[in-house]
Amino acid sequence: MVELHRGDGVFAVDVTDQTETVDLPDGSAVVWRLRQEGDVPRLALVPVPEDEVPDDTVAGHVGEDARMPIPRPIVTEGLELDPEAYDPDNPLLFKPDEIDEGAAAAAMPTGAPAPAADTALELQPVRFADGTPYRDEPVPEESLDSDPIAEAALEQDADAEGTPQSGTVSAPIDSSFVDEVLTPRGVDREQVIEVLEAIARHDLIGPENDATEYDPLTVDDRAVIVVDADVWEAEIAPEVDVDRDALDAARKLHHRQAADLYERANADEEREIAESRDAVVVKR
């Protein structure tokens, strides 16, 4: 996810990787736009012709600026955040996405039509780093997009109120397993989620990593990749900056989820994962 940084009273995000993913034109000027769409306000970073917008509205240039500052009114009025109460050690996290149906920049001060772009980067606020959802009220299930810690937080609130639980979570790891594995271990929850998100969002593991003679087991929208013992160390550990306990907990979570999927599918005994083998659950 993308973190909302704050330093010296200025809010900014580092979207270097995300602008490459959505293929924004390298070197193009970009401006911020607030999108009131769906259940939460969203930010759009829109590429524009630099000679058509005032200099003070340009957030930066794709591929040239590591961080893109966000105008204070967008943070205070759009996202409804209190700058004085905002904790930079517990940042707001955005889910990045691509807008490919065309996006217009904010209206020009001169009254001229706003420049429009074919592609833009969208940032949807989801949760804070400690797991607190961006909005207190539950949001539609699909808007969390496989964010197990946010789902777990909502389920804990529901349990406290005696509210019936919602349906299954569309995520590589069921939210019910997060607390089941993490609570007794006392590991850094944020670091564990960092590992889960890195695997899911960056496709660190795929069918090519499967170490069996069978096709990966698929259950609905998920697949179980049975991997050699060194895969977590060789393929996953170098991509995340977490301690050993967090990596081991994430490994246990994937193993627990894989075992559950095998049980649901009534898989043949010879295909079931054993304690001596590892597995990674991925989106199908």
Distance, CA of 241 to CA of 252 (rounded, Å) = 18
* Amino acid 184: pLDDT: 66
pTM of the model: 0.48
Mean of all residue pLDDT scores within the chain: 76
* Amino acid 3: pLDDT: 92
158 band by pLDDT with thresholds 50, 70 and 90: very low
* Amino acid 41: pLDDT: 87
pLDDT digit string, tens, across residues 127-148: 998 888 887 544 443 433 444 4
* Amino acid 103: pLDDT: 59
* Amino acid 113: pLDDT: 52
* Amino acid 214: pLDDT: 79
65 band by pLDDT with thresholds 50, 70 and 90: confident
